[in-house]
Structure 1
Amino acid sequence: YRQGQRPDARSREYFYYIDHRGQLFLDDAKVKNFITCFKDPTFLSMFFRHLERNRSGRYEREFPFVSRCGRERNFLRCDDVPVVFTHLR
């Protein structure tokens, strides 16, 4: 895969990884730590709100989850499960 690739003229694909702490990274980031993870609350809220099991027929084994946003497909792989609770009210 290639970040931002266009499988067709109307869509783009991005690839992400979530670690055991719930930090979200671009999958191909060489260094994965607090500095390089996504922190924007608006983006993270949108990403996780649209998260579902990947049944797209593309990368299902390597990236078992996908978050769709408009014409973008954001494929996600993780160590275990894609949702980590950081606090409960």
Structure 2
Amino acid sequence: GGINSHEAVRALLNAGASGVQLGTPFAVTEEGDAHPNFKRVLAEAAPEDIVEFVSVTGLPARAVKTPWLTRYLRHEARIREKIGALKHACPTA
């Protein structure tokens, strides 16, 4: 995450990366199929609006701090516990 400029891509490639993936910068383009409200929230977000957390899958995530995300983060531990319980309850193939 955090790759948002040509300079950032160049620095990573120069450091030995085989490739670099960009996502969010393209989400707000006219060609992108995201909802206009989603694009607006991303485009208007300031650096201090971005929150890093661990998703329910256990992977690192970043998102704009919205009322929804604030509620999610308040209940994150409980949600992750429930997801873990569901994984253990499901038989594996």
TM-score normalised according to structure 1 size: 0.30
Structure with more of its chain in helix, by fraction:
2
The higher radius of gyration belongs to: 2
Structure with more of its chain in strand, by fraction:
1
